[in-house]
Structure 1
Amino acid sequence: MANIAKTLAGRVHNVIQIAAKNPQLAPRFYSAAANLEFIKTEVTGEKKNVAVITLNRPKALNALCNGLMKELSTALDSFEKDKSIAAIVITGSEKAFAAGADIKEMQPNTYSQCIMGNFLNDWTRVARCQKPIIAAVNGYALGGGCELAMMCDIIYAGDKAKFAQPEIALGTIPGAGGTQRLTRVVGKSKAMEICLTGNMINAEEAEKMGLVSKVIPADKLVGEAVKLGEKIGSHSGLIVQLCKEAVNTAYETTLQEGLKFERRTFHATFSTEDRKEGMTAFVEKRPAKFSNL
C-alpha cells in the first residue's frame, strides 16, 4: 500500500509540475490534480476553447458552501490564465443551478464573525474574471444562486428556470449583490417586489424584465451556452476583454464617465495588431486572423 501511495503521489506531483511549466494546460490537468468535491470542469467546443464549470452538490441542490466557492475561484484562476480559453460557462443540473447559499453552514454565524471574517467577500471572484462568463441556468437559481448568475456577463435560462431572492423569509437580506445588481438590471420597482416578497419568477418573466438574455429548452441549454462562448471566441480575445470592461463601466458609472471611458478604450484599440487585422480583413473581404496582440 505504501508503494502504491508513493506512486500516486509521484504522478500527481508530475502533473502539477507539467501544469506549472505549461500554464495553458493547467485547466486540463486541474480536475485530475485536484480532488474536486463540489464542482466538475471540462474544456469543450470545436476548437476546445470553451471551459464549462458544473456546480456539483446534487443532494444540496448545489447550495453554495464555502468549499464550493473556493473550488470555483481556483478553477476560474486556472482558466483565466489559459490562453486557449476564450469563454467560460457556469452551470448546474436541470433541477438546480444553485438553490442559494448553504443555510446550515451560515446559520451559526454571528455579527462579529461576519464583520471580522468579511463574510462573502471572497464570493465575488466570478464578477472579477476578465474573460466572458456565461451562466447557463436550469432549475432553481435562488438567493446566492441568483446572485451568482448575475455576477456572470450573460445569462441563458432553461425554460423551467426559477429565479428568486428569498432571503427576506429567513430574516435577512441578500448579501452577494442581490439588492444591487438586480436593481440595476430590472429597475427599482421590480427589484423591490422580488426582494421584499421572496417570490419566484419564471424564465419567461426573467427574460421580459431583462434579467436573462435568452430562454432555451432545458436539454439544449448548455449546448447553446457553449455555442455562444464559441462565437465570442471567434473574435480577438484582447478586444473582447476591452469590450467587456467598457460594458461593465457603463453598468457601474454615470453616462458621462462611461462615454469617456468607451471613447478612450476605442482609441486604444488602434494601438493593437488585432484592430489593424480586423479592418484590413474587412476591406480585403477575407476572414480576420486575430493574434490577441
Structure 2
Amino acid sequence: MTNAAAVGHAPVWLAIDGAVGILRLDRPPLNVLNRATQASLRQAAEQAAADERVRAVVVHGGPTAFSAGADIKEMAAMTHAEMVGHASVLQAAFDAVAAIPKPVVAAINGPALGGGCELALTADVRICGTEARLGLPEILLGVIPGAGGTQRLPRLIGPSKAKDLIFTGRQVDADEALRLGLVDQVTPSDLVLDTALEWARRFEKGPALALHAAKTAVDQGLATDLAAGLAIERTVFAGLFGTQDRLIGMRRFADSGPGHASFTGR
C-alpha cells in the first residue's frame, strides 16, 4: 500500500492499495469533522477522482469510529453570517466524495453520526460492522443536517423512514440500518475493511468509462423526473459507443464462442 497523502499528517489522506484508493479519516478518537478535516476530505476525494491508478474507492474511519460528525464546539462559536458562508464549503467537501466518478464504498465501524452518517450517504454502497451506530441527531441541537442528509437519506430509504430518523434524531444499530436500507451489508467489525476492499477490487479491471456512465445516469436521474432521467440515460449510453472500452468489450464478447449474440448465448 502506498500513501498518496500530502507531506505531514493530514486528517484525511489517500492511500493506494493496488487499484483501490482508501480515503482514510485519521482524526482520533472519533474523526470529528472540523473545518480543517472537511478541507482535507475534499482534497483527498479530488485526488482519488483524478488518479488514474484508482478504479474504486473505500472510505474508512479506522477500526473504532467512522465519524461522530461535525465539531460542535467549533460550530457553536460560529455566527449566523459565518455559517451562511461556510454551509456551501461544508457541502462541497461531501459533494466531492459523491462526485468521484468511480465506485465508492463506505466501510463503517463504530459511530457514523451527523456528518459522519452524511459522509456514508455519499458512497454508492455502505458496509458496516455489527457494533456500528448510524443517525442524524442534529435536531437535538436545534439544527438540521447540513451536509446532504435531508436530501440523500430520503432518496436512499424513502421520505417517511428518513423523516423518522431526521425528526427524532434517534440512532440505529447495524441490524436496523440494514432493515431500513441505510446500509447494504453487515459484517463482523474486524472484517469491515477487508469486506469493503473485496467489493472494491471487483472493479480493478472493469470498464472505467462504462462504470462512470452508469454512476452518472443513476445519480443524475435520481435528481430529476423519469423522462429527464431517461434522456440522461440515452445520452450517456450513446456516448459509450464512441469509446475504445465499448469496442473492446463487444469484440471480446462476440469472439467468446459461437452463438454468443446475446448474454444467454441464444
TM-score normalised according to structure 1 size: 0.82
Task: Show the counterpart of 2:260.
Answer: none
| Counterpart code for 2:20 | V
Task: Show the counterpart of 2:263.
Answer: none
Equivalent of 1:141 in 102, 105, 112: 112
Task: Show the counterpart of 2:204.
Answer: 233
Measured at CA, do residues 38 and 117 of structure 1 come closer, stay the same or move farther in structure 2, by a change above 3 Å? closer
1:133-190: per-residue Cα shift (whole Å, max 9, x none)? Answer: 2111111100000001101222111122111000111111111111111111111221
Say yes or no: does 1:36 pair with 2:9: yes
Comparing both structures, which one devotes a greater share of its residues to helix?
1
| Counterpart code for 2:110 | G
Contact 2:13 2:41 in 1 (8 A): no
Measured at CA, do residues 125 and 89 of structure 1 come closer, stay the same or move farther in structure 2, by a change above 3 Å? same
How far, CA to CA, are the matches of 2:157 and 2:87 in structure 1? Answer: 28
How far, CA to CA, are the matches of 1:212 and 1:194 in structure 2? Answer: 14
Task: Show the counterpart of 1:185.
Answer: 156
Aligned length: 255
CA RMSD in angstroms, aligned pairs only: 1.8
How far, CA to CA, are the matches of 1:235 and 1:253 in structure 2? Answer: 28
SS at match of 2:117: helix
Task: Show the counterpart of 1:122.
Answer: 92
How far, CA to CA, are the matches of 1:196 and 1:271 in structure 2? Answer: 47
Say yes or no: does 1:173 pair with 2:147: no
Please give the residue correspondences for 1:1-293 in structure 2 after superposition, counting only pairs within 5 Å: 28=2, 30-31=4-5, 33-44=6-17, 48-59=18-29, 61-118=30-87, 120-123=90-93, 124-285=95-256
Contact 1:93 1:139 in 2 (8 A): no
How far, CA to CA, are the matches of 2:181 and 2:111 in structure 1? Answer: 18
How far, CA to CA, are the matches of 1:117 and 1:259 in structure 2? Answer: 35
SS at match of 1:242: helix
Contact 2:105 2:125 in 1 (8 A): yes
Measured at CA, do residues 80 and 58 of structure 1 come closer, stay the same or move farther in structure 2, by a change above 3 Å? same
How far, CA to CA, are the matches of 2:59 and 2:209 in structure 1? Answer: 22
How far, CA to CA, are the matches of 1:77 and 1:191 in structure 2? Answer: 29
| 1:128 shift after superposition | 2.2
Contact 2:3 2:16 in 1 (8 A): no
| 1:243 shift after superposition | 0.9
Identify unmatched segments of 5+ residues in structure 1.
Answer: 1-26, 287-293
How far, CA to CA, are the matches of 1:266 and 1:63 in structure 2? Answer: 40
Identify unmatched segments of 5+ residues in structure 2.
Answer: 258-266
| Counterpart code for 1:79 | A
SS at match of 1:101: coil
How far, CA to CA, are the matches of 1:117 and 1:136 in structure 2? Answer: 27
SS at match of 2:106: strand
| 1:52 shift after superposition | 0.9
| 1:265 shift after superposition | 1.6
Q: Specify the structure having the higher radius of gyration (Cα).
A: 1
| Counterpart code for 1:262 | E
Contact 1:36 1:71 in 2 (8 A): no
Q: Percent identity?
A: 38
SS at match of 2:52: coil
